[in-house]
Amino acid sequence: MNRLADSIILLWGWRRWGVAALAGAASVLALPPFNLFFVCWITIPILVWLVDGAATSEGRGVFRRVRPAAAVGWWFGFGYFAAGLWWIGASFLIEAEEFAWLLPVAVVAFPAGLAILWSIGIAIVRLFWSDGWPRIFVLALVMTAIEWLRGHILTGFPWNAFGYTLLPSPPFMQIASLVGIWGVTLLAFLVFAAPALLAGWGERGRGRWVAFGALALVLLADVGFGFYRLGTATDATVPGVNLRIVQAAIPQEVKIDPAAAAVNFVTYLDLSAPDEPAADGSVPTHLIWPETAVPYLLTESPVELAAIADLLARGMTLVTGAPRAETARPGEPRRVMNSVLVITDTGEIADSYDKVHLVPFGEYLPLQGFLEGLGIRQLIALPGGFTAGLERRLLTAGNAPPFSPQVCYEMIFAGEVTPAGARPGWILNVTNDGWYGDTPGPRQHFQQAVIRAVEEGLPLVRAANTGISAIIDPYGRTLQRLDVGVAGVIDGQLPVALSPTLYSRFGDTIVGIIAIIMMVLAGVGRFTMRVRRD
């Protein structure tokens, strides 16, 4: 291993950048659909050794001193984001005659922009770099902060936060109930960097073995906690609540075709039609349709509302994604929201929620006037785009507990899937991943949704046009699912919510405390090594 580490440390020029990019790209194998998390025990030590070798002469300016490390960070980040997000380009091919020219922006420029954050992060890491185990702590602390910033600045884009590489299965996922995805990200950088302690230009004494053993124990404790928590799990369900989730799997080019709207609506009606009762005699009480399953403004569509009323049995409720419109003041243009509607068996719209966190360039255009002047519009063919809702709120539907509706992209934001001060009985995520076809994108989206359920200790019901519809319990176990491209229905019961988790009560405060302790330990370790060396 020492020979391998030394060969990487001594790389220079384009070879160094190429290895960084390849290591970053290979790290994506730890994400869905592959879930080969152990790959990161190779790629992250490579990153550490590349930073080990990114030294310059003392006495130069700060920028010159960190420039080699910043280049390593950018190339590693570019490889990670390009390999992990290439599928975004598929959405630009749905209406290729209008958007295909933007494909290079999606698959090259966007990852390149995200990689700037990693470049800044590794540059900061290099400023506080040292020998031995403290450098591993510095890497984990700084890069977790960088990933947190990526998830929050400019409306946030936490997709494929590095912590997801350490969450391949439910036993690994349970730690999210304590520290959330940002705590898992800190843990992931720590444990995946651990092999770098055994080789390279770090400390050669007993300390590296102590640090390596401590990190190994942390990982074992993580997995042990997961198995313990799952071992005490129950399978309780909410009495009298029977769900029917419809996944129509309508191709995206057909779904957005106005001429096909009526046929698509009939497809949902046909799939939803009650058939023979289940073996236990139960019939659906709640029908769930995905994001924008109904393309009409139902307040202006009495025929469609009547059809829904005819479909629903007595006491049955439909919860569906659909656009909703309103005019704020006389004379102002009408605002259209991407919404979730609750419809009773009489065809009455009983409640609604408007999507708060819209997708930039997908549902609205930042700098709209300027970009439209360049001939660019959002992917959704709606003049002016969608308008964001004002607040997150719970909805009620029939005899089910109140639920927190999350429309598509909203589900990836940790700590934001429930309204402040209100705890629902479950989370409903309606989505349409048909924009991205049969690619890793829908699988990655599904994993992130599952982690939100574990963080909050709440069951998750997920309805997708296509893109994985499922019922997930509060432990992140998938009870039933329909995979990408499969049309059909899921009939199942609603799991019972758990008591509030540590993360749902304290959010990222716990991670902040852990980070402060790690900073103190790293500082003491660095000082001790310097004294010993002197």
Q: Among all residues, which ones are annotated catalytic? A: 291, 355, 408
How far is it, in rounded angstroms, from Cα 118 to Cα 133? 21
Q: Would you give the DSSP letter of residue 108?
A: I
Q: Which two tokens stand for residue 57?
A: 């002469």
Question: β-strand 335-343 against 317-326: which pairing, if any?
Answer: antiparallel
Strand blocks (E) in 216-366: 237-247, 286-288, 317-326, 335-343, 349-354
204 Cα distance to chain centroid: 39
CB 406 within 8 A of CB 354: no
Position 223: which residue type? V
CB 157 within 8 A of CB 88: no
- Enclosing H/E stretch for 116: helix 110-127
Q: Name the 3-class secondary structure at 33.
A: coil
CB 262 within 8 A of CB 270: no
* Rg of the chain over all Cα atoms, to the nearest angstrom: 25
Q: Name the 3-class secondary structure at 360.
A: strand
Q: Which two tokens stand for residue 158?
A: 């936490």
CB 79 within 8 A of CB 23: yes
- Enclosing H/E stretch for 312: none
Residues near 259 by Cβ (< 8 Å), separated by ≥ 6? none
Position 152: which residue type? H
- Enclosing H/E stretch for 534: none
Q: Which two tokens stand for residue 249?
A: 């799997």
